[in-house]
Amino acid sequence: MPWPSLRQSDDQLFWGRVQRRTSVQTQPQQQQQQTQQQPRVVCRGFPRMAESADMEQLLTSFKKFAIHGDTKATGKEMNGKNWAKLCKDCKVIDGKNVTGTDVDIVFSKVKAKTSRVITYEEFQKALEELAPKRFKGQSKEEALKSIHQLIEGKEPTNVGVTKVAKTRAVDRLTDTTKYTGSHKERFDDSGKGKGKAGREELVENTGYVGAYKNAGTYEEKTKAK
């Protein structure tokens, strides 16, 4: 068997090195292509979480308006007066597309025939009725979302309630312990007003002098004898 020539062995060694270099260079390219071909993972949980949070705010606002002005209310039902107040305070009533009459009509439509209140489910139906009318030009879903945003996180406003100013000057004027003269006689030690007894000098026609301390004890003494 003849020995291979030196030229043949050199050629084989050269082409072997070329093949190894080519394989090493193509590996990063193949890895990059595989990375690009991997499908993207889309997280779809956040919109649902946001929607649930918005619905919780809507329910909270419903409860706050439902118990407004009624200490016995549970927050599960809302009367017509508070429903109208909610629509007014949250600007569902704009005076153009939605009026107070529209609100009353929808309330009567969604409530039970013999009932004077609406539940939270009926409240949502009422908003579905008003949404397309309040937000004309929007789709049904967009209008409902817009009317929800008007109410979410809102609470009743106290219109016409005068708040007491808390300043040093007012504190001095309302501190009954610093009153003197006839003004001091109009209040007791706790600061509560005495009423008419503090404003006028009442005369008791008992027959006793003012400084007499044993008034009303005569009958007790005679019975004891």
Report in angstroms the alpha-carbon separations of 2 from 5, 10, 27.
9, 17, 39
pLDDT for the residue numbered 50: 57
| Annotated domain spans of the chain | 77-156
Phi then psi dihedrals of residue 187, to 5 deg = -130, 150
Whether this prediction's pTM lies above 0.85 is answered by no
Are 93 and 103 spatial neighbours (Cβ–Cβ below 8 Å)? Answer: yes
pLDDT for the residue numbered 61: 94
For 44-70, letters b (16+ CB in 10 Å) and e give eeeeeeeeeeeeeebebbbbbbbbbee
pLDDT for the residue numbered 211: 64
pLDDT for the residue numbered 142: 95
pLDDT for the residue numbered 43: 43
Using CA atoms, how far apart are residues 22 and 224, in angstroms rounded to an integer? 132
pLDDT for the residue numbered 55: 86
- Give the mean pLDDT per block of 10 residues along the chain (225 residues): 52 60 55 54 49 85 93 92 95 94 96 94 96 94 94 83 58 69 70 67 66 69 63
Tokens describing residue 220: 């007790």
pLDDT for the residue numbered 80: 95
DSSP 112: -
Q: Into which CATH architecture does domain 77-156 fall?
A: Orthogonal Bundle (1.10)
